[in-house]
Amino acid sequence: MNKEFQDALPVIRRLKEHGFEAYFVGGSVRDQLLKKEIKDVDIASSAAPEQVKALFEKTIDIGSLHGTMIVIVGGIHYEITTFRTESAYEDNRRPSGVTFVSSLKEDLKRRDFTVNAMAMDDEGRIIDYFQGKEHAEAKLITTVGSPHERFSEDALRMMRAVRFVSQLGFSLSGDTYEAICEKTHLLEKISVERKTAEFEKIMAGDGSGRALKLVAETGIIDYLPGLDGKKQHLLKACALEINGLSSTEERWTALLDVLEINSIEAFLKSWKLSNRQIEMIAKNSLYLQKRKKSEWTRLSVYEAGLHCTLEVEAVYCLIKGKALSCERTAELKALYQSLPIHSKNELAIGGADLMKISSQKPGPWMGELLKKIELAVVNDEVENSKEAIKEMLASCNLI
Ligand code: ATP
Ligand code: MG
């Protein structure tokens, strides 16, 4: 049993001591089997949320109505979910209510894919009612039960299937693939936020190329914001290993470039990204276009800032079919660090100084002149000191 599970054993044991059943479930059991890094250790138990709450000192109620409690033990958060089945599915979306059930088997049956429907007890024994192990060995994503039914219950599962192809490097089983092709229209009912979360994971997984190909081929693409008519473009994007990029913003920047999206802000808004993300990605896209035309200059690195410069360079290298090397990163960092200023606030002269020197009234001329001074300082044409700048202004008849 991996360390992550061992650390969580006191949680399972405490529940068991009080007469409840408790098992490790879901992604962590799958990832241990696949020898992948284990993220969150989730637990399923026969204890009701209130009973869980009563047993642990530190708990956070994140959805007791849906049967989920977080307990904190040894500084680690564990999600404990009461055995449940998702009663009625409305509109091909997650159900509004859940029914608690008494058996682990019923709880596992409501889970999406067989590899996600295994449990492990506190002795490390795997409980596998739905051939999860077999499918893990065959590297297959296949639904628990009929894929048609399971996708009709919750259409997001179609995107989750593709997400696991990307994350795990698996393939879709034949009937799961076919059911997705038939049911993509149900994605219409799914909120953009849930689609975005899955799509970002699709882009980030090691198998992003194959997964994006599935997005295009199955027709999922038709139900994603702003991707109407972009099938050929998306197929082109499959060849780029965007998962190799290190941030979500870099991946969106690369994708936007291949998709040839014109109104970038509107596109990103339609995916309901945060304003901050939109701003960062739009800025990246702008500088990527500049980078395609010419090498970085002191000025472009100054204007873009170090973070954006490095993100854009990584995307640029990817598009050119190479990886961003450590040397190149170091070179750009050195260029940035060699700049005399990193923002206009660091200029040795300000609007008030200009008025004093020129005895002119304030006006737009000040901003224009400050911009010229800023450029001259960044380009090392003048030292960033009041005296040097005054001298330059006088000698160039700028004031
Ligand atoms: P990750 O490691 O990326 O978090 P995960 O398998 O833990 O992967 P989660 O989205 O965290 O994925 O979900 C946890 C578990 O809950 C899944 O393994 C699966 O058993 C179940 N599950 C989550 N979403 C659904 C869904 N829409 N339908 C059915 N089961 C689901
Ligand atoms: Mg998880």
Please give the pLDDT value at position 282.
97
Please report the pLDDT score of residue 233 as a whole number: 94
Of 339, 364, 387, the one marking the end of a domain is: 339
The pairing of strands 99-100 and 84-85 is antiparallel
Kindly report, residue by residue over 244-290, the tens digit of the pLDDT.
Answer: 999 999 999 999 999 999 899 999 999 999 999 999 999 999 999 99
CATH number of the CATH domain containing 381: 1.10.246.80
Pick the closest to residue 134 from 116, 119, 114 (CA basis): 114
Residue 130 CA to chain centroid, in angstroms? 30
CATH number for the domain spanning 288: value is: 1.20.58.560
**Predicted-complex ipTM score:** 0.97
Atom of ligand 1 lying closest to residue 30 CA:
6
pLDDT digits (tens, 9 = 90+) for 302-315: 999 999 999 999 99
For atom 7 of ligand 1, the residue with the nearest CA is: 27
1, 125: one domain: yes
Number of domains, the chain: 4
pLDDT tens by residue, 49-68: 999 999 999 999 998 788 89
Atom number of ligand 1 nearest to Cα 108:
20
Which residue has 């001329």 as its token pair? 365
Per-residue model confidence (pLDDT) at position 91? 66
Contact 378, 340 (CB under 8 A): yes
Helix axes 326-337, 306-319, angle to 10 degrees: 150
Task: Write out pLDDT tens, residues 334-377.
Answer: 999 999 999 999 999 998 888 888 878 888 888 999 999 999 99
Q: Which domain-ending residue is among 339, 363, 380?
A: 339
Spell out which residues have Cβ within 5 A of ligand 2, the ion. Answer: 27, 40
- Write down the pLDDT at residue 41: 96
Domain co-membership, 6 together with 124: yes
* 52, 161: one domain: no
Contacts (Cβ under 8 Å, ≥6 apart) of 242: 203, 208, 250, 251, 254, 255, 318
Q: Is the CB of 154 under 6 A from ligand 1?
A: yes
- Is residue 322 very low, low, confident or very high in pLDDT (cuts 50, 70, 90)? confident
Provide the mean pLDDT of the chain.
Answer: 93
Reduced to 3 states, what is the DSSP secondary structure of residue 45?
Answer: strand
What integer pLDDT is reported at residue 84 of this predicted model? 83
Ligand 1 probe mutation, 116, 149, 189, most atoms within 8 A of CB: 116
**Tens of pLDDT, residues 207-239:** 999 999 999 999 999 999 999 889 999 999 998
**Which ligand 1 atom is at minimum distance from the Cα of 167?**
3
pLDDT of 201 reads: 97
Host domain of residue 377: 344-395
Q: Do 114 and 209 share a domain, yes or no?
A: no
Does the structure show a pLDDT above 90 at 89?
Answer: no
pLDDT of residue 45 exceeding 60, the answer is yes
What's the pLDDT tens digit per position in 112-133? 999 999 999 999 999 999 999 9
**Domain CATH number, residue 220:** 1.10.110.30
